[in-house]
Amino acid sequence: MAERTGKRIAILALHIESNRFAPPVGRADFEEKVLLYGDEIMADAAREHPRMVGTMTGFIHAMNQAGPWTPVPIVNADVGAAGPIDHEFFLELQAEMRERLEAAMPLDGVYFGEHGAAVSTEIPDPDGVLFKMARDVVGPDVPIISTLDLHTNISEEMVDATDALIIYRTNPHVDQYERGVEAAGSMHELLGNVTATTAFIRLPLVAPQVTQLTASGPYGEIIDYGQTLIDDTVMNISIAGGFTYGDTPQNGMAFLVTTRDDMATARRICRDLAERVWNYRERFTPNLTSLEDCIAGAVARGEDHTTPSTIIADVADNPGGGGRGNTAWLLQGLYEAGAKDVILGVFNDAALAAEAHEKEVGETFEASFNRDEPDQYSNPFAAEATILALSDGKIIGRDPGSRKNMSINLGPTTALQVGAITVIVISIRQQCIDPGYFENFGVSVADARTVVVKSRGHFRAGFLPYFPPERVIECDAPGLTSPNFENFEWNGFKRPIYPLDQDADWTPPNW
Ligand SMILES: [Zn+2]
């Protein structure tokens, strides 16, 4: 092959975090986000503002810098957090990946930029299926490495089919690019003489998503401790917090220690990490504020400007966890209580945004929020609203975390004044992770007394300059991503599991 210079590395990704309680997604949903084939992947990685997640661009950039190689871009399918992937579409995607991998043989390595918390409408572990498919195609000797979101649910199949799994170490995720770069480094090692050996433990512990921050707290502590053990033998230590709402048999905090062919060391460290966490498992308890108290606090701040402004995270309606971004419990409560100087974003309602776009800035109309999807997880609300701004919703991310510099498309967007509340209404579902989601539409975050964001935790990086951790409140409202486990009917977990089963037990493996 004339163009063959350097190693031939396949690049592919299914990037979805599936909330089993949310509506399924198919090809059209992926196309609306990021569905790229072949050379489109390399073209996107070369853009100033790529659409792919940072692990993909980090891997590609690092491989480019390290010297001649032959990238074999296959498929990048990224829909972010959503519901289960439609099984028919998953089978199509799997077939496309397999065909393209087979056509590309011989390959020297395979890189997946996976999220790791996919479920389909029929199976609990599409990620494991894809890794195994790749292993079947390339055979036992070709290295397969995947990066994974820290909210991955790790199955035995995922571990068995790959040589190394490299998980983000930050939440909010600010190290995606670095992990992609790390994966490229590991790929070079495995293309040389190094054999990766991994120990894996999964605890019967589903840590509520709001307890998985890494700047401090029980999860951050164990990640930081793990990093002190990296040395010439230990290549990577990855600790998956997991994604509760996947509701799968592979749910549970997971520990992966990858060594340069030293299984005894991998096992010793893996067991140490898991035991430490199991011994303090009761620390993974959410600290939520009731809806009533959130509203009362906002009313008080609107009256008394000597108190510090505060941000309320509507953690139960987090589009970054598969929420629809359209519950109105906080909006309605704040409106009816007469809370002042409140800004709320981003409310996902394409019908409402479209209606506003048929009108002019300054017009007043009866705004019907969430007319299309009211159900047990999401209430509707209507009130008179005045249009403050209209936009196509195309912005560049500036939050220092996961979407900095990326092209972000919110779809047709409007800023509405509803009582003393300014609401940003968007048309393409997103979590509100960046002050730019307000400020691009003329709404000041600095001047608000109360900011409400539909996000579980990723807003913390971007909004940190305005709101240090002590001025963040997590609201116990209803919704598809409520950290209040009593709001769901779980049927996928292996039971018993903590904290649903307080008497759940775990015995370390007898290695
Ligand atoms: Zn995540």
Tell me the domains of the chain and their CATH numbers: 7-283 (3.40.50.2300), 289-482 (no CATH)
Predicted local confidence at residue 1, as pLDDT? 39
Q: CA 144, 71, 102 angle in degrees (round to 5)?
A: 60
Give residue 81 CA to ligand 1 midpoint distance, Å.
Answer: 8
Q: How far does the centroid of ligand 1 lie from the alpha carbon of residue 173, in Å?
A: 7
How many A from CA of 390 to the centre of ligand 1?
Answer: 31
Per-residue pLDDT band for 466 (boundaries 50, 70, 90) equals very high
CA of 3 to the centre of ligand 1 (A): 38
Give me ligand 1 centre to Cα 241, in Å: 9
16 CA to centre of ligand 1 in angstroms: 10
Convert the pLDDT of each residue in 354-390 to its tens digit.
999 999 999 999 999 999 999 989 999 999 999 999 9
Ligand 1 centre to CA of 483 (Å) is: 15
Residue 59's contacts (CB-CB under 8 Å, 6 or more residues apart) are 11, 111, 113, 147, 180, 181, 183, 184, 187
Compute the average pLDDT of residues 258-270. Answer: 98
Whole-number Å distance, alpha carbon 460 to ligand 1 midpoint, is 13
Quick one: pLDDT at residue 237?
98
pLDDT computed for residue 407 by the predictor: 86
Mean pLDDT (the chain, rounded): 96
Read off the pLDDT of each residue in 96-124 and give the average, rounded to a whole number.
98
pLDDT at 4 over 90: no
**How buried is 228 (Cβ within 10 angstroms: 0-12 exposed, 13-18 middle, 19+ buried)?**
exposed
Distance 149 CA to ligand 1 centre (A): 5
User: Residue 3 has what pLDDT?
Assistant: 44
Nearest-angstrom CA–CA distance, 287 and 190: 43
Distance of CA 87 to the CA centre of its chain: 21
49-87 in b/e form (b: 16+ CB < 10 A) is: ebbbbbbbbbbbbbbeeeeebbbbbbbbbbbbbbbbbbb
Grouping H, G, I as helix, E, B as strand and the rest as coil, residue 372 is coil
Report how far ligand 1's centroid is from the alpha carbon of 17 (Å). Answer: 8
Contact present, 237 and 196 (Cβ < 8 Å)? no
The CA 150 to ligand 1 mean position distance, Å, reads 5
pLDDT (tens digit per residue) in 382-435: 999 999 999 999 999 887 666 778 888 999 999 999 999 999 999 999 999 999
Distance (Å) from CA 187 to ligand 1 centroid: 23
Amino acid code (one letter) for 390: L
Neighbours of ion ligand 1 (CB under 5 A): 149, 151
pLDDT (average), residues 227-240: 98
Sheet holding 34-37, edge to edge: 34-37, 69-82, 7-18, 109-113, 144-148, 164-167
Q: What is the pTM of this model?
A: 0.88
Chain centroid to Cα 17, Å, comes to 6
Distances (CA, A) of 302 to 310, 313, 444, 452, 454: 11, 18, 15, 14, 20
**Mean pLDDT across 151-157:** 98
CA gap 318, 168 in Å, rounded: 20
* Residue labelled with tokens 């909210």: 151
* pLDDT tens per residue, range 470-489: 999 999 999 999 999 988 99
Amino acid 5: pLDDT: 65
Residue 448 Cα to ligand 1 midpoint, Å, equals 28
170 alpha carbon to ligand 1 midpoint, in Å? 9
Percent of the chain whose pLDDT exceeds 90: 94
